[in-house]
Every structure is written in C-alpha cells, then in structure tokens.
Amino acid sequence: MMTLGATAQESVPHKVNTNLRMYINEEQTNYPSHWHTDIELIYPYVGSYLVNCGARSYHLAEGDILLICPAVIHEIFATSPGTRIYIQADFSKAGSFKEIESAFRAMAPALHIQKAFCPADLYQLLCDWIRDIQKIYFGSAPPVQMSEGREGHSLMSFTELEPYGEVEIYSILMQFIALAGKNLTRLQLSPPTFRHAGYRNKNPLNSACVYLSEHFTEEITLEEIAAFAGFSKYHFARIFNDYTGETFYQYLQQKRINFAQTLLSNPLLSVTDIAYQAGFASSTAFTRAFRKSTGFTPTQFRQLNEEKHPLPENAHFANFRSTGSL
C-alpha cells in the first residue's frame, strides 16, 4: 500500500477504446500524492473535500468544481462522508490548439469554481455539462448493485461507449475549457477577490494577469508589466499583491514552474532545455525553484513519471476487471 508520503504518476484506467474516465466515488477515501497527464474534474455533490495541488490547497465545499491541469502533483482528502464525481481526460493530443495550452497555463495549477461565488448562469451551464457527460459515459444501463447497498456506477468504466460518444464528451469538455478561459476572472471569484469585484483597478490588473499567462516564458520585469498596466512600479506591486495574493515575482515564477511540470512529461527534453523553455535563466535556478515549489527536483519528478507506479486499485473494480463479475 502506498503511503501518503509517496508520490507517483497515476496510471489512469480509461474507458475501453477511449482516452476518458469517469468515476463516482461514494467512499470516504483519501488519495496519496500523485500526478498524471490527464486533466481532472472533481465535483463533490455531497460532502466536502480537500485537494492539495502543487503548493496550494483547495477546500471544496459541496457543489464546488475543481479542474486540475495536466502534470500537476495533487493529493485528495475526503474530509467528510459523501459522493464526488471524477472526470479524467487525456488532452495531450490537443497541443495543436494553442488556446487550450493558454487556458491551462492561466488556470494552473487548478481552477476552483466555488458554487457560493460563481455567477449562477455560468455555474448552471457547467453543472449541466457534467450531467451530460455522465449520461453519455454511463448510458441508460442501471447501476450494478455492490456490497453494503452501494451502487457501482463506476463498473461501467470497463464497457465501451456508444458510437461517437467519446467525440461528444470531448466536445463538451472543449466547451467547458473555452468557457472557463473566457470567463476566468468571473469563475475565480472567492471571498477575498469577491470583495474587490468592483475595484476600479480590476480590469487593468486582469489584463496584466492575462498578459503574464501568455508571455511568462519571456524576460519580464516589474517595471515593464507595471507600465503595461498603466501604473508606477511601486503602486502596481502593492495592488497586484492585493489582487492575486502573491507578489509579481512569485506569480511569474509559479507560472513557469507549472509549465515546466508539463514539459517534464516529455522524456525527449532535457532538464536544461526545459529550464530555458520555461523562462528560467539557468538550470540551477530552475532546479532550486522547482524543489521549493514541489518538494522534488525536476529529475526526481521525471523519474516518478517514467516509473509509472499506479495508485492502489479498489478491490471491487479490480475483481470486476479480471472476472467480469463481483
């Protein structure tokens, strides 16, 4: 059994002949620190959950939605009994869509959509899409009855989708990401930033964040981004920290770290190449910053990817996979 102190790349068991997985978890289960190249949507519709992504912690209340970007180390704790939906999808082949990459960079390490603060129209649309995916993924077949009165919807993971079902689900996920990218500021509202929703500097600061998400690999100084936003260096530094909760350089460096984690899943790139592609001045500076942010050196992180240690599998599902029955 893997301890919570260990980290591994999760070997995601996709639905037969697809790059998708949907899982309804009704158990109070914790998942140790791990990462995978799939995006992951977590939607707790009963109970609350704690998810640590990179250096950040997300406390998911009932009805919240969390989108975890690819190649982000995360661990999940069920803080109370309940039910949560997981959707995992491989977007590695969507790299030709530059806006997909830009969206993930802007959201990284994760996008936390809080039901209590998300605009009702956007929230309802996102929930409708999740339900549409669930309907396509599990179909009309009744859930399998498991022990202790539980319903094993997730056993449907080991069947095939109806023709073009995968295309339908990916089209919904693409709409989800597009909507999130276009409405990032509205979706990221939380108690601290919600109080600043009417802040007169919100628009230029949001423009500065968008600019950084698109140019973070380049040499950018505080003076340059302040001038871009139309403020003096010292005034911008103060209001940017107030707006994002981070200093300009902390924000910029974390953008680079998040991008580097994605690049490290490509074994053809050297650590030095990745350091420069992510915007670091040297591989030494990159390694130091990466270890401080993730707790691992880039080489250690990559080795975890290559070893591909899977998380422990639920015994019910493992038995179904091998025998076709429970």
Tens of pLDDT, residue by residue over 195-229, are: 444 456 677 887 888 888 888 999 999 999 999 99
Question: What is the maximum span of the chain, computed from C-alpha positions, in angstroms?
Answer: 67
Residues written for the chain = 326
Is the pLDDT assigned to residue 311 strictly greater than 50? no
Is the pLDDT assigned to residue 147 strictly greater than 70? no
What's the confidence (pLDDT) of residue 95? 59
E strands along 16-118, which residues?
A: 20-25, 31-35, 38-46, 49-53, 56-60, 65-68, 74-78, 83-90, 110-113
The average pLDDT across 310-326 equals 39
Tens of pLDDT, residue by residue over 229-277, are: 999 999 999 998 888 778 999 999 988 998 898 888 788 899 999 999 9
Helices then strands (H, E): number in the chain?
13, 12
Q: Let me know the angle formed at the C-alpha of 307 by 32 and 73, rounded to the nearest 5 degrees.
A: 35
Is the pLDDT assigned to residue 167 strictly greater than 70? yes
DSSP 37: S
Is the pLDDT assigned to residue 190 strictly greater than 60? no
Residue 142: which H helix or E strand, with range? none
Amino acid in the structure at residue 147: S
Residue 2's pLDDT band (cuts 50, 70, 90):
very low
The average pLDDT across 181-187 equals 83
CA distances, 87 to each of 60, 61, 90 (Å): 16, 18, 10
Are the C-beta atoms of residues 26 and 18 closer than 8 Å to each other?
Answer: no
Tens of pLDDT, residue by residue over 93-105, are: 775 677 887 788 7
What's the confidence (pLDDT) of residue 247? 92
More confident residue, 25 or 312: 25
What's the confidence (pLDDT) of residue 245? 79
Tens of pLDDT, residue by residue over 100-131, are: 877 887 888 899 999 999 999 999 999 999 99
Domains for the chain: give ranges and CATH numbers.
8-192 (2.60.120.280), 197-307 (1.10.10.60)
Crossing angle of helices 233-244 and 222-229, in 10° steps, is 80
Q: Which of 119, 245, 255, 247 is nearest to 193 (CA)?
A: 245
Neighbours of 125 (CB within 10 A): 13
Residue 143's pLDDT band (cuts 50, 70, 90):
low
